[in-house]
Amino acid sequence: MLILSGFLGWLPVNIFKKQGKVPEGEGYVGTTKLVTTGIYSFVRHPQYLAGMLLGFSLVMISQYWLVLVLGIPFIIIFYIAGWDEDKFCVKKFGKEYEDYVKKVPRFNLILGIIKK
């Protein structure tokens, strides 16, 4: 899961830069075009999923109560951020994003692979 987390966290950077029509000088998240290909055809928020998997992985690796106590809020924060990101994207991309939401799961990578 730790390796998958790294992959899901890194891949969107390249996809957004190549396909998101990011204006010159802006960060990769400054996309002007909705990206629905690559990893985004399987899961809507791969970087938030990466954060949740990272938190879970660290809890499982350490198996220490303090890491568990800190890891659970870490996972919950990423989960809530994904919901907030959906609201933001609906405002930014409108109907196109609403259609995308119907096709691609927010965090469930396995379901996204099955649907594809």
Q: How confident is the model at residue 17 (pLDDT cuts 50, 70, 90)?
A: confident
pLDDT, mean over the chain: 91
Which tokens in the block code for residue 110?
A: 């396995």
- Report the C-alpha gap between 46 and 35 in whole angstroms: 12
Render the burial of 86-114: b for 16+ CB within 10 Å, e for the rest.
Answer: beebeeebeeebeebeeebbbbebeebee
Q: Which residue type sits at 44?
A: R
Task: Write down the domain spans for the chain.
Answer: 2-115
**CATH code for the part of the protein at 2-115:** 1.20.120.1630
The Cα–Cα gap between 15 and 17 comes to 5
Number of other CB atoms surrounding residue 41 within 10 Å:
16
Residue whose C-alpha is closest to residue 45's, from 1, 96, 89, 3:
89
Instruction: Please count the helices (runs of H) and the strands (runs of E) in the chain.
Output: 5, 0
Give the DSSP letter of residue 22: P
Yes or no: say if 53 and 73 are a contact pair by the CB < 8 Å rule. no
pLDDT band at 87 (very low <50, low <70, confident <90, very high): very high
Whether pTM > 0.75 for this model: the answer is: yes
Q: Quick check: 100 pLDDT over 90?
A: yes
pLDDT > 90 in the chain, percent: 68
pLDDT of the residue at 31: 86
